[in-house]
Homo-oligomer: A and B are copies of this chain.
């Protein structure tokens, strides 16, 4: 339940999609790494907040207690600490596992791909962070998914907001996870949860409400830097200063048009320590042509400067920032779009079918196809001794093979091959 086979048509679409993502990651100079699907259970436990209960655990069959990886970020941090790597730009595309309630129609599965790009190492502020946003912008533009916006915030700003609104530090994380719901439910509900479940005072909640409903660009950053309360808070000031720097770099990249500084963005995971971001597609309610689906977030990430230190025996920190592309949701969109277009994706790359028009010519076909393979040509033949020519040509049409190389008795006698263009039926002897 919650897993699926990918038949050839889906696998081909997925390959096309992943190759667009990989070529972007490579364009930014990332190296690939691979880590096991299995991790020690203790590596994963306590890293995902409420997600921890969704970890798939292996049976104790003697030996180590194992679990399936929940994401690619924690294994990456474990890898850096274990190998004492302090600087690295890597991408990793692999499956992760969550014992969640699957919602397969919305592209949510228990086994799904993640595509992560991360920059680890000491850097000057906001330079790698800006590159992560540039990557999201490039990928979403390349894939022509329609209009999108990348929301940006900073955990330090959020914590600063909580502090100046009178929230005790112990309640920062619960408050954060409540704010995170603002993209799905109205402020009133969020406020009720803060006051009811999370035990904040109504006054604090109202003050928070004034901040977290704000979003904008450089102007908003400037405004908050002048905010009499927030400008007095060390964390908020740092975060806002860096946010300003980030916008400066994004301006040089020419992508601020798609960026929104949004104080309601909180992100679920505990390990973020600085910039956080999330890209969402914007609904298009124009024609029926595009058939937009509500898919929510298609990319997200942020800065996590403390995670590697959790795996190092001496607690040595390696600052990291990274982005994860929500490939499953994007895949759902592309799949629906492909279906709507009626276009048929080829599942093979075969260039030529080796065919015979008469009987008893299997040997000739085998000899020719072997020559083609050895020359690097992608070639197929039917696995029949004496297939009908019509059936062979039909196979080409069904599978999109553009050429048929035909050897009949006459061709054999003349030492030629008849090359037929399947679509135009034009034939030449070679």
Contact (Cβ within 8 A) A378 B57: no
Contact (Cβ within 8 A) A348 B31: yes
If over half of A's interface residues share one DSSP class (helix, strand or loop), that class is named, otherwise mixed; here it is mixed
Q: Which of B6, B7, B29 contacts A350 (CB 8 A)?
A: B29
B interface footprint on A356-383 (CB within 8 Å = 1, 0 otherwise): 0000001100110010011011111001
Q: Which of B1, B15, B34, B57 contacts A5 (CB 8 A)?
A: B34
Query: Which of chain B's residues have a CB closer than 8 A to the CB of A1?
Result: 63-64
Please state the number of chain copies in the assembly.
2
- Please tell me which stretch of A121-129, A197-205, A408-416 contacts chain B, meaning at least 4 of its Cβ atoms lie within 8 angstroms of it: A121-129
- Tell me the complex Cα distance, A4–B37, Å: 10
Query: Which of chain B's residues have a CB closer than 8 A to the CB of A430?
Result: none
A5-B83, A59-B57 are known contacts. Are A31 and B347 too (CB-CB below 8 A)? yes
Contact (Cβ within 8 A) A8 B28: no
**B-binding residues in A (CB < 8 A):** 1, 3-8, 10-12, 14-15, 26-38, 56-61, 63-64, 68, 79, 82-83, 88-90, 95, 97, 99, 110-111, 119, 121, 123-124, 127-128, 130, 134, 138, 249, 252-254, 347-350, 362-363, 366-367, 370, 373-374, 376-380, 383-385
Seed contacts A3-B36, A28-B379, A30-B348; 18 additional CB < 8 Å A-B pairs = A5-B82, A5-B83, A7-B83, A8-B32, A10-B34, A11-B33, A27-B378, A29-B348, A29-B350, A29-B380, A38-B110, A56-B61, A89-B348, A119-B383, A123-B384, A127-B383, A138-B373, A253-B370
